[in-house]
C-alpha cells in the first residue's frame, strides 16, 4: 500500500495493519515485540 504525506514523502506498507500502527497510532517499528523477535533470528 502506498501512502503519500502532505510534504510529499511516500511510505510503503505491506498491509493496512502496518499503516494504522505507523500513521494513526504513531508507533515506532523498532519498539514492536514481534519485530525485535524476528530480528534476533
Cα–Cα distances (Å) from 37 to 16, 17, 22, in that order, read 21, 18, 19
What is the distance between the alpha carbons of residues 36 and 4, in angstroms, rounded to a whole number? 27
What per-residue confidence (pLDDT) applies to 40?
A: 55
What per-residue confidence (pLDDT) applies to 33?
A: 63
Chunked mean pLDDT (size 10), the chain, 41 residues: 87 84 78 56 54
Full-model pTM: 0.53
Q: How many domains does the chain have?
A: 1
Q: Which domain holds residue 10?
A: 2-40
Amino acid at each position: 500500500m502506498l501512502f503519500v504525506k502532505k510534504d510529499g514523502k511516500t511510505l510503503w506498507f505491506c498491509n493496512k495493519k502496518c499503516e494504522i500502527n505507523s500513521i494513526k497510532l504513531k508507533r515506532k517499528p523498532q519498539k514492536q515485540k514481534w519485530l525485535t523477535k524476528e530480528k534476533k533470528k
